Amino acid sequence: MDFALSEEHRLVQQTARDFATREILPVASRLDAEHRFPAEIVRGLAELGLMGVMVPEEYGGAGMDNVAYVLAMEEVARACASTAAILSVNNSLVCDPILRYGTEPQKRRYLPVLASGREIGCYCLTEPQAGSDAASLQTTGRLDGDSWVLNGTKVFVTNAREAWVFIVYARTEPEPGARGISAFIVERDHPGISVGKVERKMGLLASSTCEVLLQDCRVPRDNLLGAPGEGFKVALSTLDGGRIGIAAQAVGIARAALEESVAYARERRQFGRPIAEFQAIQWKIADMATRIDAARLLTLRAAWLRDQGKRCTAEASMAKLFASETAMFAAHQGVQIFGGYGYIKDYPVERYFRDAKITEIYEGTSEIQRLVIARNLLA
Amino acid sequence: MDVVVCVKQVPDTEQPIRVRPDGGGVEEQGLNWILNYYDEHAVEEALRVREKHGGTVTVVCVGPARATEALRTALAMGADEAVHVQDPALDGADHLGVARVLAETIRQLRYDLVLCGRLATDDNASVVGPALAEYLGLPQATAISRLDISDGVAAVEREVEGGVEVLQVPLPAVFTVERTINEPRYPTLPGIMKAKRKEIRTLGLRDLGLEPGQVGAEAARVRYSRFDPPPRREAGRVVTPDSPEEGARLIAQFLQETAKVL
Ligand SMILES: Cc1cc2nc3c(=O)[nH]c(=O)nc-3n(C[C@H](O)[C@H](O)[C@H](O)COP(=O)(O)OP(=O)(O)OC[C@H]3O[C@@H](n4cnc5c(N)ncnc54)[C@H](O)[C@@H]3O)c2cc1C
């Protein structure tokens, strides 16, 4: 047993921390206020190699592992949760399935562009009538000559407004449920795909969340990702990795809340002394720190398992469940420690509170994570 | 143009630094160690010299085993080679001892230029660079904010009170750099992977023909007697005057009698 990070992992952590602290932190609040996509920061992250952390060097990626990825995600999320969401979708939900299930020509066409940040990708699974029950999706795909024709509506697609690559799940066989779903790689320039409504949200305001419309959308036959009918398997194995990334994002948000709370508790004086001297505040800080550490360890373990090529579905769910609830807890306590100032936009904990909530919802709600964990024990 | 850069690993000052209860130093447990910021700028400048004039960049560090990571950071930024001098006999060496070890190390390397940070953020001494130049018998300029090289001569600028000093220095020379000299690049992930595959050469005092008595604790002319934490910041005092005049009078009185700054 050895809890120390390797030298290269520490370097990744340090470089991500330095970049996040110097380039992202100073503008995070403004990006949130202006609902602005951080294009320049994404370019910077791409230069560091963070848009394709696990993409092998031969496809223009950094050739590193899940542990490196979660370390970097935590640092980015600590500065700006929106930027972390953008990063997470590109790495976990777009590059990863192309790498695992893509054909050689698909890898050559898409990975270098995505890993270099020249273009970004998005992941279109959720539909108006198919959220937690993603296997009930209704978007259809049918083969017509040399193309697939896709029809349907996707919702809540992160990055869609800026994306070039869309990973789209559609039903290609008449069978209901998980069987009969296939995955596709759709490009923005393919005819029949368009981005609809851009949602107005509670948090994650610098990242776009959009409707994606497929109206007789034609994609080349070769743009099927994985085998026909294998799409749900692609979706689920992709989500194992995605959830580990979201867990790291949640740890980052929670840590930001803790760091701000510690600094504020030392400075803020009431009843003649810093509020840090009140036990009620100390206990909050102790609980935040303890849960954050536990969440980080669960996240690193899940990442490590995935790096070993081991099955990690339950562990990824545990990390995501615990870390997202920790983010919510820490943001909640953070606002409380700041008192009235915690409710005011001039202080960052207000943003953490809004940003933390999404981690309990996307890539599987907390209820769904519990279901996955329980099923693993009871099935 | 072969450039040697001297680097030091220091505690990250973004984190709280605690003095050990016995006053003998800082608590090392739990510290985050990083490449000294000023040295980051020195590495960056060396890389720019290489990009412009060709040649190599070699980073050198005198320090304990953990300091390898500072060298690895410099390699990840793009340095070609790294030399790490570590020897138990260097425990308790002072700045002059370290400068002498660096000098002997650099004598074994090919160099046209030696760069150091203006200071290390742990002890703020600004001694090693100038002392190194003396040991090597080379010209030097400290705290430079600009470096241009042509025909074996360096034009350097130093920010001085009320202006900029421009110097022409024949190479080889030793320069210590100010943070305004450049904006250092971040080590990239592919850079980190490449650095991982590079070998860091480790040397001891014997490899340099030095005796512990010449550079170690025995030779140190500076010994730390005690470390004290900075005094706790006192709470501010709030005055509640009845009129602006009264307020001004109270503040003036405070500045004169209590703070004694007027
Ligand atoms: C900001 C944002 C970004 C998103 N990004 C993406 C994206 O990039 N791509 C994408 O495909 N999707 C994305 N989503 C969609 C997200 O993954 C879904 O919202 C989520 O999976 C939940 O689905 P739903 O909203 O339909 O809720 P529902 O499934 O309708 O759930 C409603 C409630 O019922 C509970 N529930 C449902 N089923 C069960 C059950 N079996 N047992 C117990 N409780 C249950 C849920 O936990 C929840 O509390 C995003 C959503 C948001 C808000």
Global confidence as pTM = 0.92
Domain co-membership, A314 together with A339? yes
Is there a domain that residue A114 lies in? yes
* pLDDT score of A211: 98
User: Does A57 participate in catalysis according to the annotation?
Assistant: no
Number of domain units in chain B: 2
Task: Clarify whether residues A127 and A116 are in a common domain.
Answer: no
pLDDT, tens digit, for every residue of A345-378? 999 999 999 999 999 999 999 999 999 999 999 9
d(CA A135, CA A178): 5
- Of the candidates A325, A350, A360, A363, the residue annotated as catalytic is A363
Residue B224 covered by a domain: no
Residue B153 has pLDDT above 80, yes or no: yes
Which of A14, A87, A269, A270 is the best substitution to test chain B (most B C-beta atoms within 10 A)?
Answer: A14
Q: Does B136 map to a domain?
A: yes
| Residue A271 sits in the same domain as residue A213 | no
Return the ligand 1 atom nearest residue A125 CA: 11
A269 CB neighbours in chain B (<8 A) are 235
Q: Does residue B227 lie in a domain region?
A: no
CB contact under 8 A, B196 and A8: yes
**Which of the listed residues A230, A256, A276 is the one where a domain comes to its end?**
A230
Which chain A residues contact residue B76 at CB under 8 A? 11, 15
pLDDT at residue B28, rounded to an integer: 87
Measured CA distances, A286 to A74, A261, A280, A282 (Å): 20, 11, 10, 6
Residues with Cβ within 8 Å of residue B51, at least 6 apart in sequence: none
What would the pLDDT profile of B97-130 be if each residue is shown by its tens digit?
999 999 999 999 999 999 999 999 999 999 999 9
B73 vs A269: CB contact, 8 Å cut-off?
A: no
Tell me the per-residue pLDDT of A83-114, one tens digit each, with 9 for 90 and over. 999 999 999 999 999 999 999 999 999 999 99
B83 in the same domain as B41 = yes
Do A236 and A289 sit in the same domain of this protein? yes
Same domain? For B169 and B260 the reply is: no
Region B183-204: mean pLDDT is: 96
Query: Residues of A with CB below 8 A from B68's CB?
Result: 7
What pLDDT is recorded for position A78? Answer: 98
Residue A321 has a pLDDT of 98
Q: What is the 3-state secondary structure (H, E, C) of A287-314?
A: HHHHHHHHHHHHHHHHHHHHHCCCCCHH
Q: Is residue B120 part of a domain?
A: yes
Distance A52 CA to ligand 1 centre (A): 26
For residue B225, tell me if it sits in a domain: no
Are residues B174 and B239 both part of a single domain? no
> Does the interface ipTM go beyond 0.85?
yes
Ligand 1 contact via A361 beta carbon (within 6 Å): yes
Q: Name the token pair of B138.
A: 């080379």
The phi, psi pair for A334, rounded to 5°, reads -60, -45
Give the pLDDT score at A29: 97
**B87 lies in the same domain as B178:** yes
In a domain, B142, yes or no: yes
User: What is the nearest CA distance from B187 to chain A, expressed in angstroms?
Assistant: 6
User: Domain check: are B196 and B242 in the same one?
Assistant: no
Q: Do B186 and A18 touch (CB under 8 A)?
A: yes
Percent of chain B with pLDDT over 70: 100
pLDDT at B232 over 90: no
> Do residues B168 and B260 share a domain?
no
**What CATH number has the domain bearing residue A60?**
1.10.540.10
CATH number, domain containing residue A307? 1.20.140.10
Q: CB B76 to CB A11 under 8 A? A: yes
Q: How confident is the model at residue B25 (pLDDT cuts 50, 70, 90)?
A: confident
Q: Are residues A253 and A367 in the same domain?
A: yes
Distance from CA of A10 to the nearest CA of B (A): 9
Average pLDDT, rounded, for chain B: 94
If asked whether residues B47 and B161 sit together in one domain, one would say yes
- Same-domain pairing of A338 and A253: yes
Which element (helix H / strand E) includes A267?
helix A231-267
Q: Is the domain of A242 the same as that of A369?
A: yes
For chain A, residues with pLDDT lower than 50 are none
* Integer Cα distance of A238 and A246 in angstroms: 12
DSSP state, residue B121: T
| Model pLDDT for residues B38-58, shown as the tens digit of each residue | 999 999 999 999 999 999 999
At residue B238, does pLDDT exceed 90?
Answer: no
Structural domain including A164 reads 122-230
How far, in Å, is the centroid of ligand 1 from the Cα of A324? 14
Instruction: Name the residue with the closest Cα to ligand 1, atom 14.
Output: A156
Residues B129 and B244 in one domain: no
Tell me, yes or no, whether B22 lies in a domain: yes
Q: Say whether both B191 and B138 belong to one domain.
A: yes
- A2 domain-assigned: no
**Would the pLDDT of B233 be above 80?**
no
Cα A211 to middle of ligand 1, angstroms: 14
Is B133's pLDDT higher than 90? yes
- Chain B residues with CB-CB distance to A50 below 8 A: 189
Q: Is residue A178 in some structural domain?
A: yes
pLDDT at B235 over 80: no
Q: Looking at the structure, tell me whether residues B14 and B68 fall in a common domain.
A: yes
> Is A333 in the same domain as A321?
yes
Same domain, A241 and A353: yes
Q: Are residues A372 and A244 in the same domain?
A: yes
To which residue do tokens 């025909």 refer?
B151
pLDDT at residue B229, as a whole number = 86
* Chain B residues with a Cβ under 8 Å from any Cβ in chain A: 14, 34, 68-69, 72-73, 76, 186-190, 192-193, 195-196, 235
Question: Are B198 and B260 within one domain?
Answer: no
The answer to whether position A116 is within a domain reads yes
Question: Are residues A11 and B195, on separate chains, in Cβ contact within 8 Å?
Answer: yes
Q: Within 10 Å of residue A376's Cβ, how many Cβ atoms?
A: 14
Domain boundary pick from A103, A120, A137 = A120
Q: Of A120, A148, A171, which marks where a domain is finished?
A: A120
Q: Domain tally for chain A?
A: 3
What CATH number is given to the structural domain containing A149?
A: 2.40.110.10
Question: Is residue B105 domain-shared with residue B214, that is, in the same domain?
Answer: yes
Sheet with B200-203: list strands edge to edge. B163-170, B153-160, B140-150, B173-177, B113-117, B3-6, B57-62, B81-85, B200-203
Q: What is the pLDDT of residue B261?
A: 85
Q: Residue B259 has what pLDDT?
A: 84
Quick check: is A202 in a domain? yes
CA distance B261 to B255: 6
A82 and A126 housed in the same domain: no
Range of the domain at B237: 232-262
Question: What is the pLDDT at residue A120?
Answer: 98
A143 and A102 in a single domain? The answer is no
**Between β-strands A163-171 and A147-158, what pairing exists: parallel, antiparallel or unpaired?**
unpaired
In the 8-state DSSP scheme, what is residue A276?
A: G
CB of residue A358 inside a 6 A radius of ligand 1: yes
